[in-house]
Structure 1
Amino acid sequence: MGNRNKRSLALNLKDPRAIDIVMSLLPQVDVVAENYRPGVMEQLGLGYEALKAVKPDIIYASGSGFGPDGPYASRPGQDLIIQAMSGIATITGTRQDGPRAVGVSVVDHHGAALYANGILTALFNRERTGEGCRVDVSLLAAALDLQQESLTCFLNGDGHDEVRQAGRVSGWYFPAPYGIYATADGFIALSLSPLDIIYQILEIPEKERIPAKRAFDEQREISGLLERRLAQDTTAHWLPLFERHHVWHTSVNDYAQVVADPQVRHLKSFETVEGATGTPVTLVNHPVRYNGSAPAIRTPPPQLGAHTIDILSGMGMNRPMIDSLLADGVIGVAKDAEAVAADAAKGGVA
């Protein structure tokens, strides 16, 4: 999905000849990144110590569910499992309905970002010291890092032991009205804004207003009060009122509305390019701008093994050897590349 601007070499690492290919490539490599379960790379002969012996300044990055050692090291780690055991599903759920997972593989994504940052830090250190490094990132640590604010409040608070969301409030450690509320025809998110101003906008009678100083202790009651009033009119009715009073708010978008959003379109967050099979594919663009521009999508995510032949040829391997490795299942190529290889074997142009 995110493999923009990459090449793909497919190897059967259970075959010693594939390991030889890896070792031949190693002098040209800055970073080795792997996410097998702990111990698998060592069994293949591709552990950190083995690669470090060949290239002492290698940056060796390992991603796993629970880290390289410890009581859970051999367990399978996957986003939903980690959300459940790390507390994310609990704090995303409600007191009424119980735990609920986030609607995206949030731990995988954050773990990948930490993984990339760890690699960059190690590369920077190598530029200064000449030393290689092993980088370890686990999904469990990534999930806890995502909850740094919430966990810090929990660990240092006054013993608050209920961390599920109350009423419409989105987060146990936020005061009302912070949350998402239904209108007559949609939903509105209300962020950190003065409760008294929101009471005024919604025309809540004075006798019904719960003082702002109790906005944390009475989250459920306050959010219920706002929920009932907001449901009496449309999103289009409420939005300009919140805008006029500078309340932090937004309507809640579905994916079609996200794609059509003016700011999303201005940022060019989606880009359609010709896919690896010739069919157009729309990708999420690189999120960072450099001197005002995002890096260009030079190539779409490739098919597995799309560049196997090119890479091995670039290493100086001749065609008969490549064909032999392909026939033995040591390497893999994409279908188009396989057709090219077949033509070459028949005397065609490769």
Structure 2
Amino acid sequence: MVDLLKGIRVLSFNHFLMGPVGVQFLADLGADVIAVEPPDGAFQRKWSGANNKRVDGQSMLFLVGNRNKRSLVLDLKKPEALEIARKLVATADVLTENFRPGVLDKLGLGFAAARAIKPDIIYATASGFGADGPYVNRPGQDLLVQALSGLAVITGTRKSGPRAIGVSAVDHHGAALFAAGILAALVKRARTGDGGRIDVNLLSAALDLQQESLTCYMNGEPPDDTHQPEHVSGWYYSAPYGIYATRDGHIAISLGSIEVLAEALDLPREQRFADSEAFSRRDEITAAIAANVASRTTTECLDRFTSLGIWHAPVNDYSKLADDPQIKHNGSFQTVQGATGAPITLVSHPIQYDGQVPEVRMPPQKLGAQSEDVLTELGYDQDAIRTLYSTGAIGSAP
């Protein structure tokens, strides 16, 4: 069992994707994460995508970022619920939230208020664009940030124009940064005894994803166009770096010598180029490679490239991932019994600790499943809990 954060309590006021996934990372490591939700559930319980696909009533977005957490329902519009929240702050090491900037301040749960309750609290906020600035009141969402940050342009081709990445990549990277910032703050507090504030935002996460591309662009003469050229998967890469259609599928060809690649493909003399021309003549080079590879099967390309040490990989669709031998070896998917009884398959925590992948201790929980447990820990007796149920401060009784 991986319990690196055992004894650390995280109070989570998070919704949608970046916040829940970032906090889930800490929960996987053994932190006691209490997810505070409104009586009708956090947003991620309601939105599912894929024509509202659900597993036994559970939304896809909810299953993504809510394992290993306890669920507590609080109606923060009620003073009794706010009192419970303040009592929880006093017991927490970390408070996390990803509401629009200022929302928790209005409820009396902002950074200053939390620090007054718990001086060494680590207060971690995730937002679309930052805690202040000209975009502070804009809706922060992955697609919008991909557009604003230039990511959609460099992902698109010259022919297609801008194109978004096929997943919420900025949200997921932002989640990783959120977890990393909190872990850094925990190390600082262990050394100094001081808490502090951590701010993570989607726009900065999107730019961080593009460090390689942006550093290349910002230094020296910029290019005329940052769309991907045909076949080459990035404006700043040389041939052959990209994905090519074979007779029966697709293959990715990565960094390597185009002279060796020409040998592997038996290219005619007029289609052979020097390695020094890999960038300046990449359109011609990749056109020749594409035409040649299109006449071969994927297996034939794999065999030829393997024998000559050319970096390559077949292009898998999702149907092939579960049977990929390395993915199986790494334990990248876990199927567990969900809180409703139906089996659910989750993407595992991505890091091993002393050879172990953190287990799913608790599948994503039913709304308010641990409300009574958390309140009992705070000293509320059964009569007080029944009263809180009757006023709606902690939602409806199960």
Structure-1 residue corresponding to 2:272:
209
1:60 partner letter: Y
Q: Matches of residues 279-298 of structure 1 in structure 2 within 5 Å?
A: 279-298=342-361
Q: Provide structure 2 residue ranges, at least 5 long, that are not aligned to the other structure.
A: 1-63
Aligned alpha-carbon RMSD (Å): 1.1
Structure-1 residue corresponding to 2:336:
273
Number of residue pairs aligned between Structure 1 and Structure 2: 335
**Please, which moves more after superposition, 213-222 or 245-254?**
213-222
Residues 238-257 of structure 1, C-alpha deviation per residue, up to 9 Å, x if partnerless?
A: 11110000110000001111
Q: Matches of residues 70-219 of structure 1 in structure 2 within 5 Å?
A: 70-219=133-282
Task: Specify which of 44, 50, 57 is matched with residue 120 of structure 2.
Answer: 57
Shift of 1:221: 2.0
Question: C-alpha distance in 2, partners of 1:204/1:95?
Answer: 26
Secondary structure at 2:313 match in 1? strand
Question: C-alpha distance in 1, partners of 2:225/2:312?
Answer: 26
2:319 partner letter: A
Percent of matched pairs sharing the same residue: 53
Residues 20-40 of structure 1, C-alpha deviation per residue, up to 9 Å, x if partnerless?
A: 001111221000000000111
Question: C-alpha distance in 1, partners of 2:91/2:84?
Answer: 12
Task: Specify which of 85, 90, 109 is matched with residue 22 of structure 1.
Answer: 85
Task: Specify which of 287, 290, 293 is matched with residue 224 of structure 1.
Answer: 287
Question: C-alpha distance in 1, partners of 2:395/2:344?
Answer: 24
2:246 partner letter: T
Whether contact under 8 Å (2:271, 2:285) holds in the other structure is no
Shift of 1:223: 1.2
Q: Provide structure 1 residue ranges, at least 5 long, that are not aligned to the other structure.
A: 340-350
Question: C-alpha distance in 2, partners of 1:301/1:229?
Answer: 49
Question: C-alpha distance in 2, partners of 1:248/1:2?
Answer: 34
Shift of 1:119: 0.6
Question: C-alpha distance in 2, partners of 1:311/1:228?
Answer: 64
Whether contact under 8 Å (1:4, 1:301) holds in the other structure is yes
Secondary structure at 1:9 match in 2? strand
- C-alpha spacing 1:161/1:326, structure 2 compared with 1 (3 Å): farther
Secondary structure at 2:346 match in 1? strand
Secondary structure at 1:332 match in 2? coil
Larger Rg: 1
Shift of 1:117: 0.6
Residues 57-82 of structure 1, C-alpha deviation per residue, up to 9 Å, x if partnerless?
A: 00000000000100001100000000
TM-score, reference length from structure 1: 0.93
2:91 partner letter: Q
